[in-house]
């Protein structure tokens, strides 16, 4: 089985060889399991009382749990772009200037996508001989003007396609399973196998909104397992498994519907947990578990606006998806790599989804691009040696740095949940969690005297530390230079998620055969 040899800071991994074959040096396979809107509090190992994630709990027991792991943005599209580029969304362009501190994702009415100047993780892994597959939701490509009526055989703009950015295979969709649409003002979201559109959600891939029944997770599981079996004894592989059953409208297959104490959302979690258990067992059955690095996390916090029937839990943290409070940004995270990670480890390393970019490159023996700022760090010293790397966590919402965490202290430079207008219409990102002066509905600026919390004593961000206390002064003395340096060196990319004017969203379908829909 694989061993690790450290040579002048580079890693050489001796991979598994099939019976009778001569062992040859091989970099490890990489499997990234990215959930959609799954909260920190959804896992039994993190305290969810129904204990309905036995496989993820076992994964943590056999590997390393990261209770202090974060996303790069509290919304799906920017978070996923950050993972694949190792860069904050404001650096890679996945943000908007349509408003201050506004979240943005990739619906139909957007004007951009991943820029050609960005290097995506699969592009770089190919240099080390990896075969790369994405299963599920890919928001690294944004078709411009995609909501106009199109035929069933139309795809999307080719320059944003994942196979143009290093993936060798793709089965999934360019966005979440929103819908159903009427195919007049906008079509249902397409599903692709590589370059070919093989159908659309709600039509060829049914989702019953009334019962919650859909077989998509089972389809995505089969795609993952077939790819692993195909590549097991060949060149190293990168599998990016990005399922979306826990994103509203949540769904599960018939065998899992009605099985959870938590309702339909819990059914979806149970099916995902079961699927991950099958993936890990397959790696063990094939004898490649010691040469396969697996990491589980989520793209952002649970969507409390959809809870409890259609959303998860961020307990014990404040608020959820869309916000830069802990519930929107802190994610469940587990690393699993038998033979390299001792069982039952817990690391309080501050981690971020962007670190998966740099860590994966390190596993492959590659260096990150040196011509740009990379925000992700290499977590291997924390994972394999138990080291703690001193680094800050920046909390961005759109074009604004809202907060920063340094050690156990978190300083809010801006606070905002959502607008009074949205809140009055029933849109609540922090249901039942109003904290006076913190979960504000106006954008409140605190740049002169940031709101400071100690996340060890106060993980729910309810008790700001007094600005006159020695503790406040000492913490700000450490935090302020980090913020100043960050702001001084920040060069925002051109925003790619600005909303397009529908008046110009007209296209000749005969001359653009690869246009499609994101949703």
Which string of DSSP letters, residue by residue, matches 247-297? SSSP-B-TTTTT--TT-HHHHHHHHHHHHHHHHHHHHHHTT-GGGEEEEEE
Least confident segment among 16-30, 344-358, 440-454: 16-30
Is pLDDT at 56 greater than 60 in this prediction? yes
The pLDDT assigned to 484 comes to 98
Other Cβ atoms less than 10 A from the Cβ of 146: the count is: 29
Query: Phi and psi (nearest 5°) for 158?
Result: -65, -25
C-beta of residue 74 within 8 angstroms of C-beta of residue 323: yes
Least confident segment among 181-195, 292-306, 337-351: 181-195
The pLDDT assigned to 184 comes to 80
Q: Return all residues near 19 (Cβ < 8 A) that are at least 6 apart.
A: none
Query: Phi and psi (nearest 5°) for 294?
Result: -120, 135
> What are the angstrom distances between the C-alpha of 498 and each of 95, 141, 321?
8, 14, 20
C-beta of residue 497 within 8 angstroms of C-beta of residue 105: yes
Report the binding-site residues: 36-37, 76, 299-300
Its pTM stands at 0.90
The pLDDT assigned to 158 comes to 65
- Picking from 218, 258, 214, 242, the residue whose alpha carbon sits closest to that of residue 52 is 258
Active site residue 153: yes
Type and span of the H or E element at 518: none
Q: Return all residues near 128 (Cβ < 8 A) that are at least 6 apart.
A: 27, 236, 364, 365, 366
**256 vs 385: CA distance, rounded Å:** 39
What's the token pair of residue 475?
């913490």
Is pLDDT at 134 greater than 60 in this prediction? yes
Query: Phi and psi (nearest 5°) for 29?
Result: -65, 155
Question: In 130-211, where do the E strands start and end?
Answer: 131-137, 169-173, 190-193, 196-200
DSSP for 78-89, written as a single string? HHHHHHHHTS-H
What's the token pair of residue 2?
């694989």
Active site residue 76: yes
Mean pLDDT of 481-497: 95
Write out pLDDT tens, residues 210-268: 999 999 999 999 999 999 999 999 999 999 999 999 999 999 999 999 999 999 999 99
Is pLDDT at 14 greater than 70 in this prediction? no
**332 vs 350: CA distance, rounded Å:** 12
Write out pLDDT tens, residues 306-342: 999 999 999 999 999 999 999 999 999 999 999 999 9
Asked if omega into 316 is within 30° of 0 (cis), the reply is: yes
321 vs 7, more confident: 321
Q: Choose the catalytic residue: 76, 138, 140, 176.
A: 76
Locate CATH 3.30.1120.10 in the chain.
Answer: 400-489
Is pLDDT at 152 greater than 80 in this prediction? no
Is pLDDT at 19 greater than 90 in this prediction? no
**399 vs 309: CA distance, rounded Å:** 32
The pLDDT assigned to 109 comes to 56
Is pLDDT at 16 greater than 80 in this prediction? no
Is pLDDT at 505 greater than 80 in this prediction? no
Q: Return all residues near 73 (Cβ < 8 A) that are at least 6 apart.
A: 79, 82, 89, 94, 95, 103, 300, 396, 397
Is pLDDT at 502 greater than 70 in this prediction? no
Query: Which of 3.40.720.10, 3.40.50.720, 3.90.45.10, 3.40.50.300 is the CATH number of 29-390+493-502?
Result: 3.40.720.10
Other Cβ atoms less than 10 A from the Cβ of 501: the count is: 9
C-beta of residue 374 within 8 angstroms of C-beta of residue 368: yes
What's the token pair of residue 473?
């002064």
C-beta of residue 341 within 8 angstroms of C-beta of residue 335: yes
The pLDDT assigned to 378 comes to 98
At 157, the pLDDT band (50, 70, 90 cuts) reads low
Query: Percentage helix, strand, coil, to 5, in the chain?
Result: 25, 20, 55
C-beta of residue 49 within 8 angstroms of C-beta of residue 339: no
Locate CATH 3.40.720.10 in the chain.
Answer: 29-390+493-502
Beta bridge partners of 351: 69
Question: In 347-388, where do the E strands start and end?
Answer: 351-352
What's the token pair of residue 123?
């592009």
The pLDDT assigned to 500 comes to 58
Is pLDDT at 511 greater than 90 in this prediction? no
Which overall architecture, per CATH, does domain 400-489 show? 2-Layer Sandwich (3.30)
C-beta of residue 403 within 8 angstroms of C-beta of residue 413: yes
Type and span of the H or E element at 121: helix 121-125
**276 vs 357: CA distance, rounded Å:** 21
Report the binding-site residues for Ca(2+): 36-37, 76, 299-300
C-beta of residue 121 within 8 angstroms of C-beta of residue 361: yes
Query: If you search the block for the tokens 């959870």, which residue do you land on?
Result: 260
23 vs 80, more confident: 80
**88 vs 355: CA distance, rounded Å:** 11
| pLDDT-above-70 percentage for the chain | 86
C-beta of residue 72 within 8 angstroms of C-beta of residue 89: yes
Beta bridge partners of 7: 10
**517 vs 519: CA distance, rounded Å:** 6
Write out pLDDT tens, residues 377-436: 999 999 999 999 999 999 999 999 999 999 999 999 999 999 999 999 999 999 999 999
At 1, the pLDDT band (50, 70, 90 cuts) reads very low
Query: If you search the block for the tokens 């830069």, which residue do you land on?
Result: 324
Is pLDDT at 501 greater than 60 in this prediction? no
Mean pLDDT of 131-136: 98
C-beta of residue 256 within 8 angstroms of C-beta of residue 274: yes
The pLDDT assigned to 160 comes to 75
Q: Choose the catalytic residue: 138, 153, 441, 486.
A: 153
């Amino acid at each position: 089985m694989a061993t690790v040899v450290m040579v002048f800071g580079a890693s050489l991994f001796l991979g598994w060889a099939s019976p009778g074959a001569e062992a040859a040096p091989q970099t490890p396979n990489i499997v990234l399991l990215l959930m959609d809107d799954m909260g920190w509090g959804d896992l039994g190992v993190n305290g969810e009382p129904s204990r309905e994630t036995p496989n993820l709990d076992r994964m943590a027991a056999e590997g390393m749990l990261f209770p202090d792991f974060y996303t790069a943005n509290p919304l799906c599209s920017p978070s996923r772009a950050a993972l694949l580029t190792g860069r904050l969304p404001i650096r890679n362009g996945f943000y908007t200037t349509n408003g201050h501190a506004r979240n943005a994702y990739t619906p139909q009415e957007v004007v951009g996508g991943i820029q050609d100047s960005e290097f995506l993780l699969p592009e770089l892994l190919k240099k080390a001989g990896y075969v790369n597959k994405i299963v599920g939701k890919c928001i690294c490509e944004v078709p411009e003007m995609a909501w106009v009526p199109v035929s069933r055989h139309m795809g999307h703009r080719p320059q944003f396609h994942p196979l143009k950015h290093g993936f060798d295979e793709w089965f999934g969709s360019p966005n979440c399973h929103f819908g159903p649409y009427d195919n007049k003002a906008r079509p249902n979201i397409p599903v692709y196998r590589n370059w070919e559109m093989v159908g659309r959600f709600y039509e060829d891939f049914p989702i019953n909104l009334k019962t919650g029944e859909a077989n998509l997770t089972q389809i995505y599981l089969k795609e993952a397992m077939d790819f692993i079996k195909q590549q097991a004894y060949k060149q190293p592989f990168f599998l990016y498994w990005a399922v979306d059953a826990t994103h509203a409208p949540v769904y599960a297959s018939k065998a899992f519907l009605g099985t959870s104490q938590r309702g339909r959302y819990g059914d979806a979690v149970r099916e995902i947990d079961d699927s991950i258990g099958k993936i890990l067992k397959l790696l063990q059955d094939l004898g490649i578990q010691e040469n396969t690095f697996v990491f589980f996390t989520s793209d952002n916090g649970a969507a409390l606006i959809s809870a409890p029937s259609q959303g998860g839990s961020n307990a014990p943290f404040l608020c959820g998806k869309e916000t830069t409070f802990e519930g929107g940004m802190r994610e469940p995270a587990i690393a699993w790599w038998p033979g390299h990670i001792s069982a039952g480890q817990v690391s309080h390393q501050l981690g971020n989804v962007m670190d998966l970019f740099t860590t994966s490159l390190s596993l492959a023996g590659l260096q990150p691009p040196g011509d740009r700022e990379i925000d992700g760090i290499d977590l291997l010293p924390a994972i394999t040696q138990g080291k703690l790397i001193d680094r800050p966590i920046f909390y961005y919402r759109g074009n604004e740095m809202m907060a920063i965490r340094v050690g156990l202290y978190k300083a809010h430079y801006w606070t905002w949940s959502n607008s009074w207008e949205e809140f009055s219409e029933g849109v609540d990102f922090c249901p039942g969690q109003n904290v006076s002066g913190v979960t504000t509905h106006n954008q409140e600026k605190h740049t002169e005297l940031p709101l400071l919390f100690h996340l060890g004593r106060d993980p729910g961000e309810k008790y700001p530390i007094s600005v006159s206390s020695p503790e406040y002064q000492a913490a700000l003395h450490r935090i302020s230079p980090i913020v100043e340096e960050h702001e001084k060196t920040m060069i925002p990319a051109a925003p790619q998620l600005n909303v397009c004017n529908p008046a110009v969203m007209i296209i000749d379908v005969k001359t653009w055969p690869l246009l499609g829909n994101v949703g």
